[in-house]
A and B are shown apart, each in its own frame.
Chain A
Amino acid sequence: MAIVYEKSKGLTDTPFHYCPGCTHGIIHKLVAESLVELGVLGEAIGVAPVGCSVLAYEYFNCDMQEAAHGRAPAVATGIKRVHPDKVVFAYQGDGDLASIGTAEVVHAAHRGEKITTIFVNNAIYGMTGGQMAPTTLVGQRSTTSPFGRDEAHCGKPIRIAEMLATIDGAKFVERVAVNSPANVRKAKKAIKRAFECQLAGKGFAIVEVLSTCPTNWGFTPVKALEWLKDNMIPYYPLGNFRDFEEEK
């Protein structure tokens, strides 16, 4: 009898506070499993953001620092410069990384900071109650775009993976989604590789993970997975934008 799947040792016993069906939980598991499988959980230092995953410091079974909104890449930089031999990661949402913290992530990438960033894109501000994010799709309704996002008024959603892939210091850039078991398996592979990029001392690594927000999208969790597939993936294409071994 073999264990096919069980809760990762990389997570604490604290139950997640996330809404039912929120895929933050899946992404947490993938990060934790990757750290354990790479044998670096004891060497890991994580940085939690401000947003729905603000309490990530309670969930990862490793040392954690809670950062100010958007500043996780700067905080992670400070940690990594002090402990270059440790595995430092930032876990950020789309308000955190793609709005208030854009400067920090761009410059962490630009310096080739040897950190791993997990960027959760669910096209909305979850924690504050469903406001428009920089990643909210055109036409998508939110509490601050009640008639749907209007491109003429506030532009099109920002594509972070594509943008960071133009920066030399970013050595691993991939966009994945967690809307199906197959895609979750691919997401796991990408997250693991983003940590390997750091372990190999290559430079900045980021995985953009398309995620759901059933509560603020106003769908059931299962319907939210479909909405992600039908609406987000066409605008945010999945795939690898930069891989460190390809540069050899």
Chain B
Amino acid sequence: MAKVLMKGNEAVGAAAIKAGCRYFFGYPITPSSEIPEYMAKAMPEVGGVFLQAESEIAAINMVYGAGGAGARVMTASSSPGISLKQEGITYCAGAEVPCVIVNMMRGGPGLGSIQPGQADYYQSTRGGGNGDYRTLCYAPASIQEIVDYVMLAFDKADYYRNPVLVIADGMIGQMMEAVEFKDREKIELPPKDWATTGTGGKRKPNKVNSLYLQAEQLEIHNKRLQQKYKEMEENEVLYEAYGLEDAEVVCVAYGTTSRIVKSAMKLAEEKGIKTGIIRPITVWPFPYDVFKEIGPKAKGILAVEMSGGQIVDDVKIGIEGRLPVYFNGTTGGMVPTPGSILASIEKIAGGTK
């Protein structure tokens, strides 16, 4: 299929529809409003439903209803809106309702700013709402990856009966790039025989529910959920990594930041410093194992994120204390520059050669 030029937020919508999503419930918020705008036009064309909810809370609960009723369904928002959706996301996780949630992240805390940010990392990778749960979370770094991983997210949501997050900073949402809608590998998915579709008088009622009043029952349920998350950790880790074997400095970054890091790595190379990169594509599950591939020349790890350093925790878990971990970050909507990242690389490497 030919490449088409698309804005990140529009690509989210186009990919969702391509993946068979026919229901979108959302509430406008900068910098993700183009997603509901796209869906408002595109959904009627494919016989789907776009509905602007009265709030993000209502939107995610409509998602819960539609997902529980067996449909492929999505919502999208940006940071403060995603905070409001946490109630619904934990209910989806508890009741095992598949759905896809896109977060075009902006600066925080509170109302923060409308500029790009990556400070929802903890919220995205540690569950986000109440209770013991995890959500598979993709962090695309290009518009092509938005297309690829939004489509994959729907399959994984159905496969695991779990909410799946796609997080990108607002810059990716606004950026335009050429994308291709590739044919996807077909994943064998179980039938949704648990969904609320009406019994038709032919079967026992289905219940979509996260309440287990008996402690023993809830523990059984939670253990099963934990088993499912373990399975995701074993099978769903995605990352890009190169230059680890002989790197003096290994950078860790995802999303837009990883692209800036790659520019800085080129500058470092010109100065004779060997660098490598680990770019998580799934931030949960995190690619901890790849840190074992870092060679003996490495002097330190540099984590880069548009935050106060949230990803550092996972980098430290991955490196298991073998190397010092440094951080170069920007917040408030400021974007790191290649020059600033280069300076950090040089410092860790012990100066230019």
**Touch test A–B (CB under 8 Å):** yes
Q: Which residues of A contact B (CB under 8 A)?
A: 12, 41-45, 47-48, 54-55, 57-58, 60-68, 71, 74-83, 86-87, 103-104, 106-107, 111
Digitize B45-82: 1 where CB-to-A-CB distance is under 8 Å, 0 elsewhere.
00001010111011101111111111101000000000
Q: Is A107 a contact partner of B54 (Cβ separation < 8 A)?
A: yes
Assess A103 versus B55: contact at CB under 8 Å? Given A65-B68, A68-B91. yes
A65 with B65: CB separation less than 8 A: yes
* Chief secondary structure at chain B's binding surface: mixed
Q: Which residues of B contact A77 (CB under 8 A)?
A: 51, 58, 62, 65
Q: Is the CB of B65 within 8 A of A47?
A: yes
Q: A149 to B66, alpha carbons, bound, how many Å?
A: 40
Among B25, B95, B197, B205, which residue has its beta carbon within 8 angstroms of that of A78? B25
Instruction: Verify B49–A81 contact, CB threshold 8 A.
Output: yes
A-B contact count (CB 8 A): 139
Residues of B172-202 contacting chain A, CB below 8 A: 196-202
Looking across the interface, which residue of chain B has its beta carbon closest to that of A64?
B207
Asked if A57 and B88 sit within 8 Å, CB to CB, the answer is no
Q: Smallest Cβ distance from A170 to chain B, in angstroms?
A: 15
Whether a CB of chain A sits under 8 angstroms from the CB of B227 is no
Q: Which of B51, B54, B95, B206 contacts A103 (CB 8 A)?
A: B54
Closest Cβ of chain A: how far from B317's Cβ, in Å?
32
Question: Is B254's CB within 8 Å of the partner chain A?
Answer: no
Asked if B66 and A62 make an inter-chain contact with CB atoms under 8 angstroms apart, the answer reads: no
* Given A54-B211, A78-B62, A78-B69, A43 and B196 contact (CB-CB distance below 8 Å): no
B209 to chain A minimum Cβ distance, whole angstroms, is 4
**B64–A65 touching, CB < 8 Å:** yes
In angstroms, Cα B84 to Cα A104, docked, is: 14
Chain A: which residue is nearest B97 at the CB level? A65
Query: A75 contacts which of B55, B64, B207 (Cβ < 8 Å)?
Result: B64
Question: Is the Cβ of B199 less than 8 Å from the Cβ of A74?
Answer: no
Taking CB atoms, residues of chain B closer than 8 Å to A106 are: 54
A42→B61 contact, CB < 8 A: no
Asked if B208 is at the interface of the complex by the 8 Å CB criterion, the answer is yes
Closest residue on chain B to residue A86 by CB atoms: B198
Q: Are B69 and A41 in contact (CB under 8 A)?
A: no
Complex Cα distance, B73 from A76, in Å, reads 15
Chain B residue nearest to A12 in the complex (CB): B205
| Chain A to chain B contacts (Cβ below 8 Å), 9 pairs | A63-B207, A64-B208, A65-B65, A66-B207, A68-B61, A71-B61, A75-B62, A77-B51, A82-B73
